[in-house]
């Protein structure tokens, strides 16, 4: 996501590297796809661990003077974003995430995007959680419906994490992420 580009970017490439305007809000929700928190049970036989975190998107770097595209998304359009993670809104930051998404189906003002991300928890428990999912979007609908994202693994204290994250928009710049995890 950072570093030197592999080729000279065309205007089309630049548009694709930006979040489509209406997808920006959905992208923040996809951040939920990659959040972590409480300790996991010692074995898969233990009941699932449930906890909640909140994600707040970091401002995009618009230092090149361009703005987000408001064009309808097309298959292949990509974007990336990062969030700070909190146990309580406006509390201390407990972690961070990075998410990248690609539009895989587009029809009219909606479609599907596949997002994959990694969350990093600071302190104990510590480690990373990997998550991914396919999410529907509708650029004409300002209200986001809740959705589930699969937890596919992790490192450190989350080395065998499995489960899902239920993501909902809190309407105040935060996305609520309810975790249900098993494994260690």
Instruction: Give this prediction's pTM.
Output: 0.70
R_g of the chain, CA atoms, integer Å: 17
Q: CA 146, CA 2: separation in Å to the nearest integer?
A: 30
Q: CA 121, CA 135: separation in Å to the nearest integer?
A: 24
Within 8 A by CB and 6+ apart from 126, the residues are: 156, 157
β-sheet bridge partners, residue 131: 117, 151
Topology given in CATH for the domain delimited by 11-182: AOC barrel-like (2.40.480)
Helices (H) and strands (E) in the chain, counts: 2, 8
Q: CA 89, CA 157: separation in Å to the nearest integer?
A: 24
Give the DSSP per-residue string, 119-138.
EEE-SSS-EEEEEEEEEEEE
Q: What's the pLDDT tens digit per position in 12-37?
A: 333 343 344 434 434 433 343 333 33
Query: Per-domain residue ranges for the chain?
Result: 11-182
Q: What's the pLDDT tens digit per position in 74-96?
A: 999 999 999 999 999 999 999 99
């Amino acid at each position: 996501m950072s570093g030197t580009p592999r080729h000279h970017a065309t205007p089309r490439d630049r548009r694709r590297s930006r979040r489509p305007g209406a997808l920006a809000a959905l992208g923040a929700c996809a951040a939920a796809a990659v959040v972590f928190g409480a300790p996991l049970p010692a074995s898969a036989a233990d009941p699932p661990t449930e906890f909640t975190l909140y994600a707040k998107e970091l401002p995009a770097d618009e230092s090149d003077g361009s703005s987000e595209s408001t064009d309808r998304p097309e298959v292949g359009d990509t974007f990336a974003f990062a969030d700070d993670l909190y146990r309580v809104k406006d509390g201390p930051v407990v972690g961070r995430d990075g998410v990248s998404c690609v539009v895989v189906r587009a029809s009219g003002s909606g479609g599907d995007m596949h997002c994959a991300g990694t969350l990093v928890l600071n302190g104990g428990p510590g480690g990373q959680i990997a998550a991914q999912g396919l999410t529907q979007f509708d650029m004409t609908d300002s209200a986001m419906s809740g959705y589930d994202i699969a937890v596919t693994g992790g490192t450190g204290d989350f080395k065998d994490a499995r489960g899902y994250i239920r993501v909902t928009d809190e309407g105040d710049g935060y996305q609520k992420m309810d975790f249900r995890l098993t494994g260690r």
